[in-house]
């Protein structure tokens, strides 16, 4: 019988593993005792040891402890008609590929993750960095939203200092309206302070967070009510929703 999928110690879970356990149980008395409640679908250490130390060496099969076609050919002969029918009917489960959305943090302690924000406006004079404003308290500590490195400091904001950084995710960021900018090539861990918010009059002190997603998803993130503005309007999906949809394609 052709093996429908390889089975790996501590990895594979399924009906096929339980069927393989039954075959190992019948291969030799007490090699793998059958529990009163039946065999479980997890590929645990008892099955691994029985294969690696007993069955595979005895049958002249490389003793990986996993189940490939050669090992399955041996086990198949120890299955009863019922388990053989179960295996014939078995369908390998389709495991959804995890969406690799980066786990981005907040710009300040107690704030919302970048993923939960809508982008509301463009970054003036800097294309490809749609942005949102956050923080709203002069002097508040501003944090790295993921592990990142400062890649450009030849920039500024009005008012305050600014810098570009590239995150572990390949997203690029433009932090603006800070009291100071960190040095070129400075590395930050997620949650580490990168600067503080500079003063702006009339209660408008904030940090500007621009995000360039081209290196990660191949296109710009949407911002504003229509996806490309107008500035300082809401309506585009959150950063997290946009990344999830783009990375799932």
Give yes or no for residue 247 having a pLDDT over 80: yes
Which residues, listed in sequence order, are joined to residue 143 by a DSSP beta bridge?
Answer: 193
> 3-state class of 221 per DSSP?
coil
Position 95 pLDDT exceeds 80: no
Q: How confident is the model at residue 156 (pLDDT cuts 50, 70, 90)?
A: confident
CA distance 238 to 61: 53
Residue spans per domain, the chain: 15-89, 114-247
Average pLDDT, the chain: 95
- Kindly state the average pLDDT of the residues 18-31: 96
Residues 96-115, mean pLDDT to the nearest whole number: 91
Q: What is the pLDDT of residues 162-193, one digit of tens each?
A: 999 999 999 999 999 999 999 999 999 999 99
CATH 3.40.50 fits 114-247, yes or no: no
Q: Which of 134, 148, 139, 182 is nearest to 162 (CA)?
A: 182
- Of the pLDDT bands very low, low, confident and very high (cuts 50, 70, 90), residue 129 is very high
Alpha helices, H only, 119-197: none
pLDDT digits (tens, 9 = 90+) for 190-227: 999 999 999 999 999 999 999 999 999 999 999 999 99
């Amino acid at each position: 019988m052709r093996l429908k999928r390889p089975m790996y110690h501590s990895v594979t879970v399924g009906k096929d593993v339980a069927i393989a356990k039954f075959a190992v149980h019948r291969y030799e008395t007490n090699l793998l005792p059958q529990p009163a409640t039946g065999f479980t679908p997890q590929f645990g250490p008892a099955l691994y040891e029985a294969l690696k130390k007993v069955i595979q060496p005895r049958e002249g099969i490389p003793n990986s402890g996993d189940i490939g076609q050669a090992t399955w050919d041996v086990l198949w002969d120890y299955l009863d008609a019922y388990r053989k029918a179960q295996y014939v009917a078995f369908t390998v489960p389709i495991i959804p590929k995890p969406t690799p959305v980066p786990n981005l943090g907040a710009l300040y302690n107690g704030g919302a993750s970048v993923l939960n924000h809508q982008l509301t406006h463009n970054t003036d004079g800097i294309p490809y960095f749609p942005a949102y404003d956050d923080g709203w308290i002069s002097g508040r500590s501003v944090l790295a939203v993921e592990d990142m490195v400062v890649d450009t400091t030849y920039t500024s904001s009005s008012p305050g200092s600014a810098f570009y950084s590239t995150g572990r995710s390949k997203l690029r960021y433009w932090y603006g309206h800070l009291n100071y900018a960190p040095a070129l090539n400075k590395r930050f861990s997620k949650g580490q302070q990168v600067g503080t918010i500079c003063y702006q009059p009339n209660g408008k002190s904030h940090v500007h967070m621009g995000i360039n997603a081209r290196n990660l998803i191949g296109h710009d993130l949407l911002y504003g009510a229509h996806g490309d503005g107008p500035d300082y309007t809401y309506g585009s999906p959150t950063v997290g929703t946009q990344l999830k949809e783009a990375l799932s394609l």
